[in-house]
Amino acid sequence: MPAKRQRDTLEALLASRLPDRAILFGKVAAVAAYGWLVTLLCWLGGWLTVWLNPAEVTFQQAPALLGLPVLSFLAAWYVAVSAC
């Protein structure tokens, strides 16, 4: 396999005036945002599935469903931070 091409972006970022913590936060935020977006798309797919066949599922705890985006946001941040 050919070697992976190095882009030397880390050196350019470290040479900039940005603090190291800002670079780390930006990288973690990008991973968390991507994970949260994928999770929300999965929730949307599940909602559409239930919406297309409403006779099979009843929503007895609809207010609890409002907390799912918040919990998935926190989970995405947890996974992103623990991966560092």
pLDDT in tens, 26-56: 888 999 999 999 998 998 888 788 778 776 6
Q: CA quadruple 60, 66, 70, 73: dihedral positive or negative? A: positive
DSSP secondary structure code for residue 2 in this structure:
P
Kindly give, in sequence order, each residue whose CB lies less than 8 Å from that of residue 40, ignoring residues fewer than 6 positions away.
69, 72
Percent of the chain with pLDDT over 90: 11
22: which 2 tokens? 């800002």
Q: Which residue has the tokens 């599935």?
A: 49
For 76, other C-beta atoms within 10 Å of its C-beta total: 20
pLDDT of 63 reads 67
For 41, other C-beta atoms within 10 Å of its C-beta total: 10
* Single-letter residue type at 66: L
